[in-house]
């Protein structure tokens, strides 16, 4: 079974990219972020035609929005962080019914945070605290859990093209990295780091200043798996191919494969 996370930066603009990529990579579950559309605008019929019969959607006009598209039945769908009041559509969770048993998938578009010292950064910190409390209870209910999405955090220096020049800037601050570490301490594992990976492996590149062409990127899209799933992880990789297409998302899809 394969599960993918991809920030498409507008599903309306990138729908054909999603269709082309899933045709070549028919993953079982595709989790999208930054839909930038309301639920009624979600192209449900088109995606069902592509094989994703089961879709859980939490959209928002112009901004944010997350979805789980699946070839497996979805149940127990929940939106946003329980106990944390938020006007933005950032989290959707659902339970996959698989032959190996139920797997809880939590798909998040984490707060960007803008810059340390701003109100948006404080919102990010409080949001991350709320997420951690929520995940703690989710893991108690669902031992087999996958947390994935656009985290907007580069957890280590090797996840940034310029770790020294960008130190303590957004995505690189000690506070953000501490939150990432505390998520891991709940009993999660960074599936990408379970394997030897090429140096300078990134999942996001700025549109400006030839960011992709010069590989000036960050690894900020992650797939964390709970300990009971760790032994089943067969591979985890970033597919840079769609980033080369015309008018691409600034993010690349990341896929975990389970035995």
Q: Which residue's structure tokens are 């907007």?
A: 152
- In the residue annotation, 134 being an active-site residue is answered as no
What residues contact residue 114 under an 8 Å CB cut-off, 6+ apart? 120, 121, 170
What residues pair up with 254 in beta bridges, in sequence order? 5, 238
- Smallest CA-to-CA distance from 200 within 184, 188, 212 is with 212
Q: What are phi and psi of 133, to 5 degrees?
A: -60, -40
Q: How many CB atoms are located within 10 Å of the residue 182 CB? A: 14
User: CB-hemisphere CA count at 13 Å for 92?
Assistant: 25
From 28, 52, 109, 202, the catalytic residue: 109
What residues pair up with 160 in beta bridges, in sequence order? 218
- In the residue annotation, 157 being an active-site residue is answered as no
From 28, 52, 134, 150, the catalytic residue: 150
Write out the catalytic residue numbers. 109, 150
């Amino acid at each position: 079974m394969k599960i993918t996370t991809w920030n498409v930066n507008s599903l309306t603009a990138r729908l054909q990219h999603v269709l082309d990529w899933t045709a070549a990579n028919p993953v079982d579950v595709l989790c999208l972020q930054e839909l930038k559309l309301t639920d009624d605008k979600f192209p449900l019929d088109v995606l069902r035609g592509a094989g994703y019969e089961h879709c859980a959607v939490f959209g928002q006009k112009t901004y944010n929005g997350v979805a789980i598209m699946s070839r497996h039945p979805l149940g127990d769908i929940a939106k946003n962080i329980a106990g944390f009041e938020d006007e933005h559509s950032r989290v959707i969770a659902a339970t996959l019914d698989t032959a190996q048993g139920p797997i809880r998938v939590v798909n998040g578009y984490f707060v960007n945070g803008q810059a340390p010292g701003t109100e948006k950064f404080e919102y990010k910190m409080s949001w991350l605290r709320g997420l951690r409390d929520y995940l703690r209870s989710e893991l108690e209910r669902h031992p087999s859990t996958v947390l994935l999405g656009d985290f907007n955090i580069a957890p280590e220096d090797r996840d940034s093209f310029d770790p020294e020049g960008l130190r303590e800037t957004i995505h690189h601050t000690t506070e953000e990295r501490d939150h990432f570490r505390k998520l891991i301490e709940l009993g999660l594992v960074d599936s990408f780091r379970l394997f030897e990976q090429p140096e300078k492996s990134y999942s996001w590149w700025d549109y400006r200043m030839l960011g992709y062409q010069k590989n000036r990127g960050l690894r900020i899209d992650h797939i964390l798996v709970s300990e009971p799933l760790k032994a089943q992880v067969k591979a985890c990789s970033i597919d840079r191919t769609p980033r080369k297409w015309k008018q691409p998302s600034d993010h690349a899809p990341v896929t975990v494969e389970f035995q």
